[in-house]
Amino acid sequence: MNRLIDGKKISAAVVEQLALDTREFIATSGVTPGLAVVLVGEDPASQVYVRNKVKQATAAGFNSTEHRLSADTTQADLNALVEQLNNDPSVHGILVQLPLPAQLSEPDIIRLIAPHKDVDGFHPLNVGALASGGADLIPCTPMGCMIMLEQTLGDLSGKHAVVVGRSNIVGKPMAALLLQANCTVTIVHSRTQDIEAICREADILVAAVGRPEMIKGSWVKPGATVIDVGINAVEKEGKRRLVGDVDFSEAVDVAGAISPVPGGVGPMTIACLMKNTLTAARQQMSV
Protein backbone atom coordinates (compact mmCIF):
# COMPACT_ATOMS: atom_id res chain seq x y z
CA MET A 1 0.00 0.00 0.00
CA ASN A 2 1.34 3.43 -0.90
CA ARG A 3 1.85 5.76 2.02
CA LEU A 4 1.53 9.52 1.90
CA ILE A 5 4.07 11.24 4.14
CA ASP A 6 1.89 13.83 5.86
CA GLY A 7 4.04 16.90 6.49
CA LYS A 8 1.19 18.76 8.15
CA LYS A 9 0.69 16.02 10.74
CA ILE A 10 4.40 15.53 11.43
CA SER A 11 5.07 19.27 11.67
CA ALA A 12 2.15 19.73 14.07
CA ALA A 13 3.70 17.13 16.38
CA VAL A 14 7.08 18.87 16.12
CA VAL A 15 5.58 22.25 17.03
CA GLU A 16 3.54 20.71 19.87
CA GLN A 17 6.68 19.23 21.43
CA LEU A 18 8.53 22.45 20.75
CA ALA A 19 5.92 24.43 22.66
CA LEU A 20 6.44 22.15 25.68
CA ASP A 21 10.23 22.52 25.42
CA THR A 22 9.87 26.28 25.10
CA ARG A 23 7.74 26.54 28.23
CA GLU A 24 10.37 24.55 30.12
CA PHE A 25 13.14 26.77 28.76
CA ILE A 26 11.28 29.94 29.77
CA ALA A 27 10.58 28.54 33.23
CA THR A 28 14.23 27.68 33.87
CA SER A 29 15.91 30.63 32.16
CA GLY A 30 13.37 33.42 32.53
CA VAL A 31 13.95 34.23 28.84
CA THR A 32 11.49 33.93 25.97
CA PRO A 33 13.08 32.95 22.64
CA GLY A 34 12.92 35.82 20.17
CA LEU A 35 12.67 35.47 16.39
CA ALA A 36 13.08 38.47 14.09
CA VAL A 37 11.83 38.10 10.52
CA VAL A 38 12.87 40.63 7.87
CA LEU A 39 10.86 40.98 4.66
CA VAL A 40 12.04 43.31 1.89
CA GLY A 41 9.56 44.15 -0.86
CA GLU A 42 6.10 42.89 -1.74
CA ASP A 43 6.72 39.43 -3.20
CA PRO A 44 3.40 37.58 -2.68
CA ALA A 45 4.95 34.17 -1.96
CA SER A 46 7.38 35.70 0.53
CA GLN A 47 4.53 37.46 2.31
CA VAL A 48 2.70 34.14 2.71
CA TYR A 49 5.85 32.45 4.02
CA VAL A 50 6.51 35.22 6.52
CA ARG A 51 2.93 35.19 7.76
CA ASN A 52 3.10 31.44 8.33
CA LYS A 53 6.46 31.68 10.10
CA VAL A 54 5.20 34.36 12.47
CA LYS A 55 2.06 32.31 13.16
CA GLN A 56 4.11 29.22 14.02
CA ALA A 57 6.50 31.24 16.18
CA THR A 58 3.55 32.45 18.23
CA ALA A 59 2.22 28.88 18.51
CA ALA A 60 5.60 27.74 19.79
CA GLY A 61 5.59 30.41 22.51
CA PHE A 62 8.22 32.73 21.03
CA ASN A 63 8.38 36.49 20.83
CA SER A 64 8.20 37.23 17.12
CA THR A 65 8.87 40.56 15.44
CA GLU A 66 8.42 41.50 11.79
CA HIS A 67 10.50 44.10 9.99
CA ARG A 68 8.96 45.04 6.64
CA LEU A 69 11.09 47.15 4.33
CA SER A 70 10.25 48.69 0.97
CA ALA A 71 11.40 47.10 -2.29
CA ASP A 72 13.81 50.00 -2.91
CA THR A 73 15.66 49.50 0.40
CA THR A 74 19.41 50.07 0.05
CA GLN A 75 22.09 47.59 1.03
CA ALA A 76 23.30 50.01 3.70
CA ASP A 77 19.85 50.23 5.29
CA LEU A 78 19.36 46.46 5.31
CA ASN A 79 22.84 45.94 6.70
CA ALA A 80 22.11 48.42 9.48
CA LEU A 81 18.94 46.57 10.46
CA VAL A 82 20.71 43.21 10.54
CA GLU A 83 23.51 44.66 12.69
CA GLN A 84 20.90 46.10 15.05
CA LEU A 85 19.29 42.66 15.39
CA ASN A 86 22.68 41.01 15.85
CA ASN A 87 23.28 43.28 18.85
CA ASP A 88 19.79 42.91 20.36
CA PRO A 89 19.94 40.37 23.24
CA SER A 90 16.19 39.78 23.06
CA VAL A 91 16.56 38.45 19.49
CA HIS A 92 17.93 34.91 19.38
CA GLY A 93 17.15 34.12 15.75
CA ILE A 94 17.26 36.26 12.61
CA LEU A 95 15.63 35.31 9.34
CA VAL A 96 15.93 37.50 6.25
CA GLN A 97 13.34 36.20 3.81
CA LEU A 98 14.78 35.29 0.41
CA PRO A 99 14.78 36.13 -2.44
CA LEU A 100 15.80 39.77 -2.00
CA PRO A 101 15.25 42.54 -4.57
CA ALA A 102 17.90 42.67 -7.30
CA GLN A 103 19.83 45.61 -5.83
CA LEU A 104 20.59 43.69 -2.62
CA SER A 105 23.29 41.07 -2.16
CA GLU A 106 22.01 37.84 -0.64
CA PRO A 107 25.52 36.44 0.03
CA ASP A 108 26.49 39.64 1.87
CA ILE A 109 23.40 39.50 4.07
CA ILE A 110 23.87 35.80 4.82
CA ARG A 111 27.44 36.47 5.93
CA LEU A 112 26.39 39.50 7.98
CA ILE A 113 23.90 37.63 10.19
CA ALA A 114 25.64 36.51 13.40
CA PRO A 115 26.31 32.76 13.03
CA HIS A 116 24.75 31.98 16.42
CA LYS A 117 21.52 33.76 15.32
CA ASP A 118 21.46 32.25 11.82
CA VAL A 119 18.33 30.12 12.16
CA ASP A 120 18.28 29.43 8.41
CA GLY A 121 21.64 27.69 8.76
CA PHE A 122 23.07 29.48 5.71
CA HIS A 123 26.06 31.29 7.23
CA PRO A 124 29.40 29.89 5.93
CA LEU A 125 30.45 28.94 9.46
CA ASN A 126 27.28 26.90 9.96
CA VAL A 127 27.65 25.36 6.49
CA GLY A 128 31.19 24.31 7.39
CA ALA A 129 30.02 22.85 10.68
CA LEU A 130 27.40 20.81 8.84
CA ALA A 131 29.97 19.51 6.38
CA SER A 132 32.17 18.34 9.26
CA GLY A 133 29.25 16.76 11.12
CA GLY A 134 29.03 19.21 14.01
CA ALA A 135 26.30 21.71 13.12
CA ASP A 136 23.65 22.84 15.59
CA LEU A 137 21.81 25.23 13.24
CA ILE A 138 20.91 23.13 10.20
CA PRO A 139 19.14 24.40 7.06
CA CYS A 140 15.45 23.99 7.78
CA THR A 141 14.21 22.22 4.67
CA PRO A 142 16.82 19.43 4.77
CA MET A 143 16.24 19.03 8.51
CA GLY A 144 12.52 18.66 7.87
CA CYS A 145 13.17 16.10 5.15
CA MET A 146 15.32 14.06 7.53
CA ILE A 147 12.60 14.03 10.19
CA MET A 148 10.09 12.80 7.61
CA LEU A 149 12.46 10.09 6.39
CA GLU A 150 13.33 8.88 9.88
CA GLN A 151 9.69 8.72 10.89
CA THR A 152 8.84 6.81 7.72
CA LEU A 153 11.81 4.44 7.50
CA GLY A 154 13.48 4.41 10.91
CA ASP A 155 17.18 3.63 10.54
CA LEU A 156 18.49 4.93 7.20
CA SER A 157 21.85 3.13 7.39
CA GLY A 158 22.98 1.50 4.18
CA LYS A 159 20.22 2.90 1.99
CA HIS A 160 21.11 4.47 -1.35
CA ALA A 161 19.88 8.07 -1.36
CA VAL A 162 19.79 10.11 -4.56
CA VAL A 163 19.41 13.89 -4.26
CA VAL A 164 18.26 15.67 -7.41
CA GLY A 165 19.72 19.19 -7.25
CA ARG A 166 22.87 20.69 -5.76
CA SER A 167 21.73 24.02 -4.32
CA ASN A 168 23.33 25.45 -1.20
CA ILE A 169 19.91 25.70 0.44
CA VAL A 170 18.66 22.13 -0.08
CA GLY A 171 20.73 19.80 -2.25
CA LYS A 172 24.16 20.04 -0.65
CA PRO A 173 23.04 20.13 3.01
CA MET A 174 20.54 17.33 2.30
CA ALA A 175 23.37 15.16 1.01
CA ALA A 176 25.48 15.97 4.08
CA LEU A 177 22.68 14.95 6.46
CA LEU A 178 22.00 11.72 4.57
CA LEU A 179 25.70 10.90 4.70
CA GLN A 180 25.69 11.48 8.46
CA ALA A 181 22.77 9.03 8.66
CA ASN A 182 25.04 6.42 7.02
CA CYS A 183 23.35 6.44 3.64
CA THR A 184 25.24 5.97 0.40
CA VAL A 185 24.61 9.32 -1.29
CA THR A 186 24.55 10.36 -4.93
CA ILE A 187 23.85 13.93 -6.09
CA VAL A 188 22.57 14.38 -9.64
CA HIS A 189 22.31 17.73 -11.41
CA SER A 190 22.03 19.40 -14.82
CA ARG A 191 25.36 17.97 -16.04
CA THR A 192 24.71 14.42 -14.85
CA GLN A 193 24.44 11.80 -17.58
CA ASP A 194 21.54 9.34 -17.55
CA ILE A 195 19.81 10.89 -14.53
CA GLU A 196 16.80 8.62 -14.95
CA ALA A 197 18.87 5.46 -14.48
CA ILE A 198 20.57 6.82 -11.36
CA CYS A 199 17.24 7.85 -9.83
CA ARG A 200 15.88 4.35 -10.44
CA GLU A 201 18.63 2.99 -8.19
CA ALA A 202 17.51 5.08 -5.20
CA ASP A 203 15.97 3.64 -2.06
CA ILE A 204 15.46 7.29 -1.05
CA LEU A 205 14.84 9.90 -3.77
CA VAL A 206 14.89 13.59 -2.77
CA ALA A 207 13.78 15.98 -5.52
CA ALA A 208 14.98 19.57 -5.10
CA VAL A 209 15.59 20.87 -8.59
CA GLY A 210 12.84 23.48 -9.11
CA ARG A 211 11.39 22.01 -12.33
CA PRO A 212 7.69 21.15 -12.22
CA GLU A 213 6.93 17.43 -12.43
CA MET A 214 10.34 16.66 -13.94
CA ILE A 215 10.68 13.29 -12.20
CA LYS A 216 8.31 10.77 -13.75
CA GLY A 217 7.02 7.56 -12.29
CA SER A 218 9.40 5.59 -14.52
CA TRP A 219 12.33 7.27 -12.71
CA VAL A 220 11.26 5.82 -9.34
CA LYS A 221 12.43 2.45 -8.05
CA PRO A 222 9.40 0.37 -6.95
CA GLY A 223 8.96 0.75 -3.20
CA ALA A 224 11.33 3.74 -2.90
CA THR A 225 10.65 6.61 -0.52
CA VAL A 226 10.24 9.90 -2.38
CA ILE A 227 10.60 13.32 -0.77
CA ASP A 228 9.44 16.13 -3.08
CA VAL A 229 10.93 19.47 -2.04
CA GLY A 230 9.78 21.39 -5.12
CA ILE A 231 7.00 23.97 -4.96
CA ASN A 232 6.12 25.23 -8.44
CA ALA A 233 3.15 27.32 -9.54
CA VAL A 234 1.72 26.12 -12.85
CA GLU A 235 -1.42 26.63 -14.89
CA LYS A 236 -3.59 23.54 -15.12
CA GLU A 237 -7.05 23.50 -16.63
CA GLY A 238 -7.15 27.26 -16.42
CA LYS A 239 -6.28 27.34 -12.72
CA ARG A 240 -3.08 28.15 -10.87
CA ARG A 241 -1.90 25.08 -8.99
CA LEU A 242 1.09 24.13 -6.89
CA VAL A 243 2.99 21.05 -8.00
CA GLY A 244 6.27 19.49 -6.97
CA ASP A 245 9.35 18.41 -8.89
CA VAL A 246 7.87 14.90 -9.02
CA ASP A 247 4.96 13.91 -11.24
CA PHE A 248 2.87 12.81 -8.28
CA SER A 249 0.12 11.15 -10.31
CA GLU A 250 2.67 8.74 -11.78
CA ALA A 251 5.07 8.32 -8.86
CA VAL A 252 2.39 7.57 -6.26
CA ASP A 253 1.68 4.24 -7.94
CA VAL A 254 5.35 3.20 -7.79
CA ALA A 255 6.74 4.62 -4.54
CA GLY A 256 6.46 2.90 -1.20
CA ALA A 257 6.02 6.30 0.44
CA ILE A 258 5.86 9.81 -1.02
CA SER A 259 5.42 13.36 0.24
CA PRO A 260 2.73 15.40 -1.53
CA VAL A 261 2.85 19.01 -2.73
CA PRO A 262 1.41 20.95 -1.03
CA GLY A 263 1.24 19.46 2.46
CA GLY A 264 4.57 17.69 2.52
CA VAL A 265 7.93 19.36 3.04
CA GLY A 266 6.60 22.93 3.27
CA PRO A 267 5.11 22.70 6.78
CA MET A 268 8.22 20.86 8.00
CA THR A 269 10.48 23.71 6.89
CA ILE A 270 8.67 26.18 9.13
CA ALA A 271 8.56 23.76 12.07
CA CYS A 272 12.33 23.26 11.81
CA LEU A 273 12.88 27.01 11.72
CA MET A 274 11.24 27.06 15.15
CA LYS A 275 13.48 24.21 16.34
CA ASN A 276 16.52 26.20 15.26
CA THR A 277 15.26 29.29 17.10
CA LEU A 278 14.94 27.41 20.39
CA THR A 279 18.35 25.81 19.82
CA ALA A 280 19.87 29.26 19.23
CA ALA A 281 18.24 30.65 22.37
CA ARG A 282 19.53 27.74 24.47
CA GLN A 283 23.05 28.21 23.16
CA GLN A 284 23.06 31.95 23.76
CA MET A 285 21.78 31.59 27.29
CA SER A 286 24.35 28.90 28.09
CA VAL A 287 27.11 31.22 26.87
CATH code assigned to 140-266: 3.40.50.720
Report whether 231 belongs to an annotated binding site. yes
Domains 30-115 and 140-266 share a fold: yes
pTM over 0.75: yes
Over residues 101-143, the pLDDT tens digits come to 999 999 999 999 999 999 999 999 999 999 999 889 999 999 9
Is 9 an active-site residue? no
Which one of the listed residues 120, 203, 245, 247 is annotated catalytic?
Answer: 120
Report whether 165 belongs to an annotated binding site. yes
Q: Hey, where are the domains in the chain?
A: 30-115, 140-266
pLDDT at residue number 1? 46
Using the predicted structure, report yes or no on whether residue 145 has a pLDDT greater than 50.
Answer: yes
Over residues 207-265, the pLDDT tens digits come to 999 999 999 999 999 999 999 999 888 887 788 888 999 999 999 999 999 999 999 99
At the topology level of CATH, where does 30-115 sit? Answer: Rossmann fold (3.40.50)
Is 151 an active-site residue? no
pLDDT at residue number 253? 94
Which one of the listed residues 56, 97, 159, 203 is annotated catalytic?
Answer: 97
Least confident residue range of 1-15, 74-88, 101-115:
1-15
- DSSP readout, the chain? --EE--HHHHHHHHHHHHHHHHHHHHHHHS---EEEEEEES--HHHHHHHHHHHHHHHHHT-EEEEEEE-TT--HHHHHHHHHHHHT-TT--EEEE-SSPPTTS-HHHHHHHS-GGGBTT--SHHHHHHHHTT--SS--HHHHHHHHHHHHHHS--TT-EEEEE---TTTHHHHHHHHHHTT-EEEEE-TT-SSHHHHHTT-SEEEE-S--TT-B-GGGSPTT-EEEE---EEEEETTEEEEE-SB-HHHHTTT-SEE--SSSSHHHHHHHHHHHHHHHHHHHHHH-
Is 97 an active-site residue? yes
Over residues 153-172, the pLDDT tens digits come to 999 999 999 999 999 999 99
